[in-house]
């Protein structure tokens, strides 16, 4: 737990944005892992992939339960997420990073997770495939779609900023 807590927490934090929610999910992840520990067989690399798979699934489930207001129009979501990110002590306050995180937060949970794992953690598609049981091709497609959606949101926001 000591070894993987920061990794699991950062993954949950980027998905959920709210630190307390991420801490709750991280605790749930380690509780699930502890309960299933005896049945796990594998080397340390497989163990970390197994733990990260539990973390991804738990975080995605939590995001779905919270619904993260996905039914709101994208511009309303972006405005709410940006103000939430800018007011958070956990982010630097730089507008572009706030906009990036807010745009990421508008993605569906699975696309958000793939984008963050690749973009922020630099994890390979092969590692993510092992972690999720999803093909590398499907992960690449999810990342591509996520990237396009983020670019679209950021371009729309940039045009609003420059036309004010």
Q: How many CB atoms lie within 10 A of CB 4?
A: 17
pLDDT tens-digit readout, 32-75: 998 888 777 777 778 888 888 898 889 888 877 766 444 444 55
Q: How confident is the model at residue 160 (pLDDT cuts 50, 70, 90)?
A: low
CA–CA separation, 142 and 121 (whole Å): 16
CA–CA separation, 119 and 40 (whole Å): 29
Query: What local confidence, expressed as pLDDT, does residue 79 receive?
Result: 60
CA–CA separation, 123 and 136 (whole Å): 12
Q: Which residue in the block uniquely carries the two structure tokens 């339960």?
A: 65
Mean of pLDDT values over 129-141: 91
**By percentage, how much of the chain surpasses pLDDT 70?**
77
Query: What local confidence, expressed as pLDDT, does residue 89 receive?
Result: 56
Per domain, the residue ranges of the chain are 5-162
Look at residue 28 and tell me whether its pLDDT is greater than 90: yes
Mean of pLDDT values over 86-96: 57
Mean of pLDDT values over 106-132: 88
Mean of pLDDT values over 86-91: 54
Could you tell me the two tokens for 129? 């495939």
Q: Dihedrals φ, ψ of 127, to 5°?
A: -65, -45
Look at residue 162 and tell me whether its pLDDT is greater than 50: no
Q: How confident is the model at residue 82 (pLDDT cuts 50, 70, 90)?
A: low
Top pLDDT among 29 and 41 is at 29
What b-and-e string marks burial along 15-50, b requiring 16 or more CB atoms within 10 Å of the CB?
bbbeeebbeebbebbbeebeeeeeeeeeeeeebbbb
């Amino acid at each position: 737990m000591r070894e993987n807590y920061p990794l699991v927490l950062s993954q949950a934090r980027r998905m959920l944005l709210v630190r307390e929610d991420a801490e709750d999910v991280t605790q749930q992840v380690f509780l699930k892992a502890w309960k299933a520990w005896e049945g796990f067989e594998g080397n340390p690399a497989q163990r970390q992939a197994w733990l990260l798979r539990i973390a991804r699934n738990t975080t995605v489930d939590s995001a779905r339960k919270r619904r993260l207001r996905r039914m709101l129009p994208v511009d309303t979501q972006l405005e709410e997420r940006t103000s939430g990110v800018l007011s958070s002590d956990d982010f630097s306050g730089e507008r572009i990073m706030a906009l990036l995180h807010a745009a990421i937060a508008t993605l569906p949970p699975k696309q958000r997770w793939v984008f963050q794992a690749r973009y922020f953690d630099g994890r390979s598609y092969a590692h993510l495939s092992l972690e999720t049981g999803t093909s590398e091709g499907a992960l690449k497609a999810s990342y591509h779609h996520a990237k396009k959606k983020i670019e679209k949101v950021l371009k729309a926001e940039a045009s609003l900023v420059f036309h004010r």
